[in-house]
Amino acid sequence: MSQHDYDLITIGAGSGGVRAARWAAGLGARVAIAEERYLGGTCVNVGCIPKKLLSYAAHFREDFEDATGYGWRPGEAAFDWPTLIANKDREIARLNGVYERLLRGSGVEILRAHATVVDPHTVEIDGRRLTAAHILIATGGWPVKPSIPGAALGFTSNEAFHLPSLPRRALIIGGGYIAVEFASIFNGLGVETTLVYRSERLLKSFDADLGRFLGEQMTSKGVNILYGRNIVAIERGAPFAVTLTGGTVLETDGVMFATGRAPNTRGLGLERAGVKLAENGAVIVDANFVSSVPSIHAIGDATDRVLLTPVAIAEGMVVAERLFSSGGRVLDYENIPTTIFSHPSVGTVGLSEADARRRGFGVTLYRTIFTPLKHTLTGRAEKVLMKLVVDEASERVLGVHMVGSEAGEIIQGFAVALKCGATKRQFDATIGIHPTTAEEFVTLREAVA
C-alpha cells in the first residue's frame, strides 16, 4: 500500500486534467482532481464549445440573405442575444454534468476547491493537506490585458460569453485567432465592429497568405480592420473613448482585449515547492512533462507549448500511461491540425511556407483562389483560398492551408494524409469528390512562382 493518500492528484479539471485523471484511474491508480471553478476548463466553459455555438449563430444573417438566391423568401429576421446566451448556458451546464459523471464513473474523487502545492508530494485543498506520489498541474491559461490606463474597462473572451447585452459598436484589440473569431461573431450578429492590430497582417504565427487573405475577406464582410495600430488608453463614458497609437481616438460601446493568454499558475505555490517557471509563469517541463521536481508534472496551456485542447488531452494520456502503465504512448507535435472559426474559417496543418524555407526545404507552392459553387447563385463576393506547400526534392506535402467555409472539417482529413507522409503525386492520384470545395486540393496541378 502506498504511503500517500493518492497515487495522483491533478490540479485543474480542464480537458487535459480530466483525461489524465480518468486515464490514470482506469489504469488502477487512486486519483483525485481539484478544481475551484468549473469542470471542463476553458474549452467547455469559455472557449471552444461556446465560441463555436456563437459562431453558428453569427452565420445565420448571411444564410438568410443567401437563401434568396435559391428561391426562398424568408421573413424579416430578428436576433435576441439573451436567448442565445441562455441556450448556450444550458448546453454548458449539461456538459459540466457529463464531465462530473465521467470522473465519478472512473473512480476519480472530485475536490471542488482551490489547491496549492505545499511540497513535492503534498497539496493543500480547502484547509486539508493531502499527499500523492505524483502531482499533475493542468490549470490551463488565462486571458491577459495590456498595462494601459483604463484597461479594467475592457473585457476578455472570458466575459464575452456572458455580456448582458450586445454592444451596438465593439472595438477588439488583437489579431490572433481569438480576435478574428470574435470580430466575426460580433460583426455577424449585427455589431459595428472594428479590429485594431499592431501588425500589418492577421494571424502572424500562421502562413502569411492565410492572414492576408482572411483580412480581405473580413473587410468585405464589414469588419473595419486598422493595421499597424495599438491601444494606448480607454476613458470611461457612454460611449467609451479609446486612444490609439498616433493619437486617433475612437468611440465605442465595448472594448474587448484579445491580446494573448498566460499560463494560469500564479498562486499555486509551485515556486515554494521548487518548481521552475518561465518568465510568463509556464511550468518548465522535459519531454516527459516532468518539472524540475520529479514528482510534479504539467501539461496543456500551463506549459505554454501548443495551446490546443486535443493536444492537452493527448499529453494527459501520455503522462498517465508513463506513470501507471508501460508508458509506450509518445506524442508527436509535428503536423498538428487546427482551425480558426472566423468568417470565413481557417484550417491549417503542417508547415507554413516560411517555416518550410527556414527548415531548409526547397519549396514548391500550389495555390488557388476561387468562388465556391454556393455563391454562384447568392452573388456574395466571398472567396476561398487553398494552398499546398511541397518539398521540391521528395514531393512530400509539407503543409495544407485553407480559408473558406468548413475549413476545419476539410483539413482534418488532410491531416491524416500528412501524418502518413503523403506526396504531391499521391494527392494528384486521388479522385476528388465532385462538386466540393475539398476536391480542389487534389486537382491543383500548376505550381505558382
What gap in Å lies between CA 401 and CA 176, rounded to an integer?
16
Q: Where do we find the cell 456574395?
A: 380
Say which amino acid occupies 301. Answer: D
Q: Go through the chain and tell me how many residues it has.
A: 449
Dihedral of CA 163/168/174/179: which sign?
Answer: positive
What gap in Å lies between CA 153 and CA 151, rounded to an integer?
5
Q: Report which of 303, 263, 256 is spatially closest to residue 51, judged by C-alpha positions.
A: 256
Q: Which three cell numbers stand for residue 97?
A: 454534468
263 contacts 282 by C-beta, under 8 angstroms: yes
CA-based angle 339:341:345, to the nearest 5? Answer: 80
**Which of these is catalytic: 59, 114, 297, 434?**
434
Q: Catalytic site residue 434? A: yes
Task: Look at strands 31-34 and 296-298 and give their pairing.
Answer: unpaired
Which residues are known catalytic residues? 434
